[in-house]
Structure 1
Amino acid sequence: MAEAAQPRLAQAGEASAIARLIDAAYQPYRDQGVALPDVSGGVDEAIADGQVWVIEKTSLQGVLMLSTAPPIAHLTNVAVAQSTRGQGLGGALIQWALQLSTSAGCSEISLATHVEMPGNIALYAHLGWRETERDDRRVMMVRALP
């Protein structure tokens, strides 16, 4: 894994850069014809609510959007800059989400991913999430927390 800084809460002035990183991270799926919803919408509000964490060195490298409202946390988004893909930052952000959720007293963490993103579905299943529901666009998954 790349030597990454500890995730920190995002600041309001970073909303545009965070939205650009998220949009760029999902662009390869759009290029493959996956009809994704607005993946970067609501960043300003999520930052104001204390639900966005970032990893950076000299520039923004990764973003985590997470809400923790016991008993269930919700992993909204994990995005990594194209230049740092494959270096373990996404995994580090997911681990951070699990730690934050457990510390907040949540017993489960849920997420929704796109049905046309089988790599994501397999990754989350490998990391302990189980599918709970599926429709024509989304796959809902949940993982128990300690």
Structure 2
Amino acid sequence: MRKAQAADVAAVRQLVLDAYQPWAEVIGRPPMPMEADYEVLVAEGRVHVRDAPDGIEGLIVLIPEDGVLLVDNVAVRPDRQGRGVGRSLLAFAEEEARRLGLPALRLITNVKMTPNIALYASLGYAETGRDELDGRFVVRMRKELAG
């Protein structure tokens, strides 16, 4: 894992578009990560990428907040999905939260992304609420880290 650099912005954008395009069709509009400003997020050091010999295979956007680390986006190249890349990115997020002294992680996902919700639940994230955010129906989840 490494922090994305300015030279990675185009590849980061493309990976996000490729990863989320099927969900845009399910949801009926682009998921929020498709509309994020990756130039700014990369410049702020929020985007972490996992490299493969043929380019970036996954990324995670992490934003420290008061008492929690926000997992703002997890994206895996479609040809690498189902191979544990997403799980490794989420494990990295836990390491980062611990390194930063934050006792929990939180994330938001669309209610229609049921496979993702199931993955998060299997990794110890608990649902904390459902509501509307920017015209999208979302599930809020949180994971407390053991001491």
Compute the TM-score of the two structures, normalised by the length of structure 2.
0.88
Task: Report the structure, 1 or 2, having the larger strand content.
Answer: 2
In structure 2, the residue matched to 1:90 is 86
Aligned length, in residue pairs: 140
Give the alignment partner of residue 73 of structure 1, picking from 64, 69, 72.
69
Give unpaired runs (5+ residues) of structure 2: none
Q: TM-score, normalised by structure 1?
A: 0.89
Report the alpha carbon displacement of residue 82 of structure 1 after superposing the two structures with TM. 1.2
Using CA pairs under 8 Å that are at least 6 residues apart, name the structure with larger relative contact order, 1 or 2.
1
Identity %: 33
Q: For the residues of structure 1 that align with 2:131 and 2:86, how far apart are their CA atoms? A: 25
Letter in 2 for 1:53: H
- Rounded to whole Å, the distance in 2 between the matches of 1:114 and 1:73 is 19
Q: CA deviation at 1:61?
A: 0.7
Q: Deviations over 1:18-65 (max 9, x none)?
A: 011011101111233443334231211111111111011221111110
RMSD value, Cα: 1.4
User: Hey, what does 2:11 align to over in structure 1?
Assistant: 17
Match for residue 109 of structure 1 among 105, 112, 121: 105
CA distance in structure 1 between the partners assigned to 2:24 and 2:109 by the alignment: 14
Task: Tell me which of 23, 46, 54 is aligned to 2:49.
Answer: 54
**2:112 alignment partner, SS class:** coil
- Asked whether the 8 Å contact 1:70–1:104 carries over to 2, the reply is no
